[in-house]
Amino acid sequence: MWTIFWYTILLACVATLFLRIAGRKSISQMSVPQLVILLTIGAVIGSEVSGKGMPKTILTLGTFIAFLVVTEWITLRWDRAETILKGKSVPVIQEGKLVVPNLRKLRISVDDLEKRLRMAGISRIEDVKTGTIESNGELGYELTSDAKPVTRGDLEDLFQMYFPLCL
């Protein structure tokens, strides 16, 4: 009975250590290899519970994490590997107009894209100069110059131009 308890504690500690080595990202930010490894780790931990043996389970977990670290290292060094393993961003808005063929490829409806825009605080597609779906599934965008918010630097420039003695 106590053996199972201590094996469980050991497995939880080893799994936590390995996942810390793997890095921290939310599921929506994970690349395909990272998500596959995470799901596999869950299955491996489950197999330990069903009696496959602690040493084999730890070795398997370590092998998967090593694979993930090597994959991440390779994608940092070679753009082609990054494209193959993680993918690239896909433009869905250009100059305020939808790129419908890319939306279809990504299987994203216009309503879903509009929802993402609203969540980013953008109410009109026309206000977006370029919009992309990034490799992690997030929406990336650049606003048109008319839609960009005023920055402190913009205000200082205006004050300097119109009220040069005040600053």
Residue 65: predicted pLDDT: 77
Instruction: Please report the pLDDT score of residue 22 as a whole number.
Output: 63
Average pLDDT, the chain: 80
Q: Is 144 exposed, middle or buried (0-12, 13-18, 19+ CB in 10 A)?
A: middle
pLDDT at residue 128, rounded to an integer: 94
Instruction: For residues 14 and 8, give the distance between their C-alpha atoms in angstroms, rounded to a whole number.
Output: 10
* pTM summary value: 0.60
Residue closest to 3 by CA, chosen among 51, 43, 58: 51
Q: Note the pLDDT tens digit of each residue in 35-88.
A: 777 777 777 777 665 666 777 777 777 777 788 788 888 888 998 888 887 778
Q: What is the pLDDT of residues 111-136, one digit of tens each?
A: 989 999 999 999 999 999 999 998 77
**Per-residue confidence (pLDDT) for residue 131, from 0 to 100:** 95
